[in-house]
Amino acid sequence: MKASVLCVYNEGSQPNTSYIGAKGFSVVVEVDGERTMFGTGLRGRYLIHNMEHLRLDADSLSRVVISHGHADHTGGINALLDARNSPLTVYAPEDAWGGKGMFSKDGISLTANAVPKAERKDVTGWTRLSKHLFLTPPLEAGGLSETFMVLVGGNRPVLISGCCHCGPDAVLGNVKEKFGSYPRAIIGGLHLEKAHKETSYAVAETLRNAECQELNLNHCTGPKGALRLREKLSLEGVKEYNVGDKLEYELGLI
């Protein structure tokens, strides 16, 4: 059994391609014969542009997951739903649906056209999306809840993170408690773009202690955050992950 994680939306994109790099986050996880989108980026037109150039049909998605309510993760939801012919289940923490976020007025806000195509599903605890794909319970930081995606079935899980506002300690501990081991890999954002150097170094130490040093990072990790992680971990262990990049994992039986 194989799983793939395709980057659809990020600040960076593969060079010499037609993909658009812009603020936001979206990946598509393909496993168990299904496609799950995680995040929708900030701008709907950029999301749809990248999907078209990646030959990713909106109607091929089985569901979409919104990790938390910030606009750079929710902004493309209406364009995604408009591009579909059938409804789509939208998984998200309850507080991701409108209201005030940590820094600005954020949250999922559906247009009148999109409402009939959205089947709301609040994430309240561990949620099994398919045989090998799970969502964590929402983890809180600063009044904001965030859920994470976990691929299981290999020798150790793979964690997919939108922003990791709660810090890696909390989510790594949740994954270990549920599956018996820390993740072997992390994909996505670690919220280090504006963090102090000492904070980035502490995150690196946390990842080292968890033996989680296969890192494909983007979005809010930021160039400075990634550089500081490389200082403490390795150049090979901390890689960029941009629009058009696809990671593949071999999964065993569970």
Long-range contacts of 51-55 (CB under 8 A, 24+ apart): 51/8, 51/83, 53/17, 53/18, 53/19, 54/6, 54/8, 54/19, 54/244
> Strands 133-135 and 127-130, how do they pair?
antiparallel
Residue 207: partners with Cβ closer than 8 Å, 6 or more residues away: 168, 186, 213, 215, 229, 233
Across the strands, what pairs with 128?
134
What pLDDT, in 10s, does the model give residues 222-233?
999 999 999 999
Number of domains in the chain: 1
Per-residue pLDDT, 142: 87
Per-residue pLDDT, 68: 97
Per-residue pLDDT, 103: 42
**pTM score, two decimals?**
0.95
What pLDDT, in 10s, does the model give residues 140-158?
998 899 999 999 997 899 9
CATH number, residue 27: 3.60.15.10
At 46, the amino acid letter reads: Y
Per-residue pLDDT, 236: 85
Per-residue pLDDT, 217: 98
Domain containing residue 233: 2-250
CA diameter of the chain: 49
Which residues in the chain show pLDDT less than 50? Answer: 100-104
